[in-house]
Structure 1
């Protein structure tokens, strides 16, 4: 028997526009429509990646949604398909009526038959604890670097250039996990939603894309997309600016560098919530920014 709330973007062609209308109301300023449209232009449509669980009002308007997508991960050296719960929202006029609980119960029934692990990130962890999700502390990593800068051997990726788009797709399809503790393999939709409107730097001789920024001689490294992960020093010596320190927002076990781990939540309040088995739970790690949902 078909689930009560599970729907389909392909069978209901009006659903995607109704969803983004709701998301703009619930998350004003998040620019989710813009992010999703950019990802769509680059070849990763929201409706191809996410399974919607929705509730409508009597007049056909969308009043609540929970999305489920799949995230291919490397966890403690093993490949796994993890379920990602995302875009959880209820219209403000319809809250405290039990709609969220009803949909989440169906979502969990669906997911428990398919995934050993569910993940999500939220600024409101208390909403998910009643459903068996638990908070797991993540860590960032810092290391000192003494680089005076060099000849520039990087360039900004241009997502309006078809050759750069093909390059991005190739590397996403063939990427090595940035970490064997928690890494991502062959995933596009989340990456493109999370990163395509941010600067991405290409290191041609390393065939590597870096999601990074530099401020006050500090390199902030959020993700690397490459068939092979090179040591951190290999990246730094190709950056023209002087670098004195590096903050790494994923486990640096593949970077051949010593780094100090510190508890941190990305963006200050991005709590990682997990349900089910999560083999890296006792390790120090952070899910890369590009794969957070």
Structure 2
């Protein structure tokens, strides 16, 4: 029987490092982005989410371009007959609900995929850089937990990686960030979806090519334990991967309530639904 050996990446140590740094006085911590010592300066709105687990100094935190509104992800890959049954939850923000049209789900991104965020992702995913992971975790925890969600009615489903990519990289970046989000939101992680290994690498493909490449790329290995599922990916570009994952869940549970979350999506001047 063929097995997959997965080594533990150096950035896995950041889980323990995060707890250690969280116990240090603020003025003794070092910003993982600019490498300067922390000083006072966080606003109450920032501290409400960051608490004692901030890894960026206040100036670096405020220099990032934060997203305030969700974008709509069209469920392009959902069958027409099925899409008529879909009534996904949607929100103008993660703390209040409004109506979104059918055939789409709300996507909540903490920030935009532009410098220095794209640089942090390169360092984390391709160079296993611990500070980069901590910076991305810092950014991710600025997303407030959706109202009404708890461990009994909601699960977080990370986009699964293919076995070839897992062997090549040695770890699953999206899963690591999803575990941090599950810890931060106190929601269970659910991994009942398998990704077909024949799905080619998505980098460099446009949306139509990605959609074709990802047709039937995800298969559920078991039914979701609850109706509300938070789909998670580290970066959302064209939305093709998230659309394909939504299709797999909705084919198995047409009345599932879906929303999507990612660390980064689009640029300040362009993204889905804008």
Length-normalised TM-score, structure 1: 0.31
Larger Rg: 1
Answer 1 or 2: which has greater helix percent.
Answer: 2
